[in-house]
Amino acid sequence: MSTANDADWSRSRERLVQVSEKDLEALLHDVGRGDRAALKHLYEAYSPRLFAILCRLVASQVLAEDVLRDVFIAVWQEAWRFDATKCVASAWLIALTRRQCIVALKAESVLARSDRVSF
C-alpha cells in the first residue's frame, strides 16, 4: 500500500545529488564562516535526503517542510560548531534534523493538548 510519505520519498530520491563526506564537511565549514553560497549548495545537495527522512518521522508533508526549514536555519546558525574530528558531516546533519524534528513534535503535542483544555 502506497502512502503520501512514500510518494514524497520517491520524489526526494529522484532529486538526490551524490555528495561525498569531504564535500559536506567543506560545505559545513564554509557555512560556518558565513558563506551563503555554500548554504545554498548544501541545501540543494542534501535537503532531499533530509526531507525524505522527515517524511518518515512526521505525519504531514507540511510539518516535514517546516522542520526542514528549521534545520537549515539551525545549520546557518550552528555550522561553526561542526567538528569533523568528532563525527562525519552527514551524521551531524541527520542529528540536527532529528533534534529539530523532536522540537517540532513536542510543540505540536503541546498545541494539541492546549486545544483540548477548556476554560
Write phi, then psi, for 58 (nearest 5 degrees).
-120, 165
- Summarize pLDDT for 3-58 with one digit per residue, the tens: 445 555 445 444 566 889 999 999 999 999 999 999 999 999 999 999 999 999 99
In the chain, the number of structural domains is 1
> How far apart are alpha carbons 71 and 47 in whole angstroms?
9
**Do residues 101 and 72 lie in contact, with contact meaning Cβ atoms separated by under 8 Å?**
no
pTM of this structure: 0.78
Question: What pLDDT score was predicted for residue 107?
Answer: 87
Which SS3 state, helix, strand or coil, does residue 34 take?
coil
Provide the domain limits for residue 55. 4-116
- Quickly tell me which residue has 550552528 as its cell: 78
CATH number at residue 54: 1.10.1740.10
Q: What is the 3-state secondary structure (H, E, C) of 66-85?
A: HHHHHHHHHHHHHHHHCCCC
